């Protein structure tokens, strides 16, 4: 019927999702990484239902919710009490244009909204760079991890992330505190880099004010970051700059004076599991 409209709360089983997807013929291209991210949350019990409906046109076509349906099918998990809405097909042509949730949104939903470290998008992205950088499939891991999963892992490192936020990320220009640089500093902290020296590294990198000869290394890194046009280039740039910052951290710690930033593929300070952290 042309003006058919209805709304019901239903359990969407993998079988029902598969049936609905048979008419998924009018959506944009599926983002496989989004499906994997949703499926991981569903399988782990981290999926949060927020009342956003799955929308089906009166002609049976999926109008909104293809990634959720595909995730249900992939994970084998039933979504209970999912709102299913039927609307006239001709009225459903403007979906998936809303704003995605930020890390700040997720932190608030999960009860950690009062911690600025968990509300900082750059620091949250840096956390994933820090923990995936040394893994063979780091690109896929970074792209498919959900914000909820990221937050749950970050909670284990609340003290360390708060230190990085207070000493580096807070109220600092974005080109300096990009995800790659922040990740390198976080892993140096986790690996036992002397706190006082690491704090000084952060201060000089933020301000550009040096008092010792070996701090030329930090100023050179700062100048490189400020001139770079790639700091908004996403995770590939983050992985690249991570190694360069690690090299600068290594040189500064060992009083090696270098007045330029050089390419590097050595990870001097690696992500360490919480129970193994021993900081100076």
Residues 143, 35 share a domain: no
The mean pLDDT value for 215-236 works out to 81
Residue 1 lies in a domain: no
pLDDT at 232: 52
Best CA proximity match to 250, nearest among 171, 185, 173, 154 = 185
Residues 134, 32 share a domain: no
The mean pLDDT value for 249-277 works out to 88
User: How many domains does the structure of the chain reveal?
Assistant: 2
Query: What band does 280 get if pLDDT is binned at 50, 70 and 90?
Result: very low
Round to whole Å and give the CA distance between 8 and 147.
Answer: 29
Residues 239, 128 share a domain: yes
Select the more confidently predicted residue: 152 or 102: 152
Round to whole Å and give the CA distance between 11 and 14.
Answer: 10
How does the average pLDDT of the chain come out, rounded? 86
Residue 42 lies in a domain: yes
The mean pLDDT value for 214-222 works out to 95
Q: Which of the residue ranges 85-89, 97-101, 103-107, 219-223 would you say has the lowest mean pLDDT?
A: 97-101
Q: Is the pLDDT of residue 98 over 60?
A: no
Q: Is the pLDDT of residue 231 over 70?
A: no
Select the more confidently predicted residue: 235 or 177: 177
Phi-psi region of 34 (alpha: psi -120 to 50; beta: other; left: phi over 0): alpha
User: Model's pTM, two decimal places?
Assistant: 0.69
Residues 110, 62 share a domain: no
Round to whole Å and give the CA distance between 193 and 13.
Answer: 50
pLDDT at 42: 93
pLDDT at 184: 97
169 contacts 175 by C-beta, under 8 angstroms:
no
Residues 172, 70 share a domain: no
Q: Is the pLDDT of residue 17 over 60?
A: yes
Q: Which domain holds residue 78?
A: 6-91
pLDDT at 275: 64
Query: What band does 264 get if pLDDT is binned at 50, 70 and 90?
Result: confident
Residue 124 lies in a domain: yes
Residues 126, 240 share a domain: yes
Q: Is the pLDDT of residue 200 over 90?
A: yes
Residues 202, 127 share a domain: yes
Q: What token pair was written down for 50?
A: 């927020």
Residues 66, 198 share a domain: no
Residues 267, 163 share a domain: yes
Q: Is the pLDDT of residue 274 over 90?
A: no
Q: Is the pLDDT of residue 248 over 80?
A: yes
């Amino acid at each position: 019927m042309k003006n058919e409209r209805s709304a019901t709360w239903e359990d969407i089983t993998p079988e029902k999702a598969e049936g609905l997807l048979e008419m998924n013929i009018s959506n944009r291209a599926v983002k496989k990484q989004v499906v994997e991210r949703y499926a991981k949350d569903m399988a782990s019990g981290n999926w949060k239902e927020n009342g956003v409906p799955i929308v089906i046109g009166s002609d049976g076509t999926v109008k909104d919710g293809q990634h959720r349906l595909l995730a249900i099918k992939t994970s084998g998990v039933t979504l209970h009490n999912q709102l299913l809405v039927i609307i006239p097909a001709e009225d459903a042509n403007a979906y998936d244009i809303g704003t995605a949730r930020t890390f700040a949104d997720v932190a608030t939903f999960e009860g950690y909204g009062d911690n600025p470290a968990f509300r900082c998008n750059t620091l949250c992205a840096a956390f994933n760079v820090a923990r995936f950088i040394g893994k063979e499939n780091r690109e896929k891991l970074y792209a498919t991890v959900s914000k909820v999963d990221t937050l749950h892992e970050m909670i284990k490192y609340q003290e360390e992330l708060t230190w990085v936020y207070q000493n580096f990320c807070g109220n600092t220009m974005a080109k300096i505190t990009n995800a790659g640089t922040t990740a390198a500093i976080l892993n140096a902290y986790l690996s036992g880099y002397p706190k006082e020296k690491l704090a000084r590294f952060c201060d000089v990198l933020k301000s550009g004010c040096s008092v010792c000869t070996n701090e030329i290394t930090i100023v050179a890194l700062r100048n490189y970051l400020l001139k770079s046009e790639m700091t908004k280039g996403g995770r590939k740039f983050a992985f690249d700059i991570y190694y360069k910052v690690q090299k600068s951290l290594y040189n500064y710690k060992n009083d090696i004076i270098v007045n330029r930033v050089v390419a590097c593929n050595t990870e001097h300070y690696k992500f360490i599991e919480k129970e193994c952290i021993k900081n100076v």
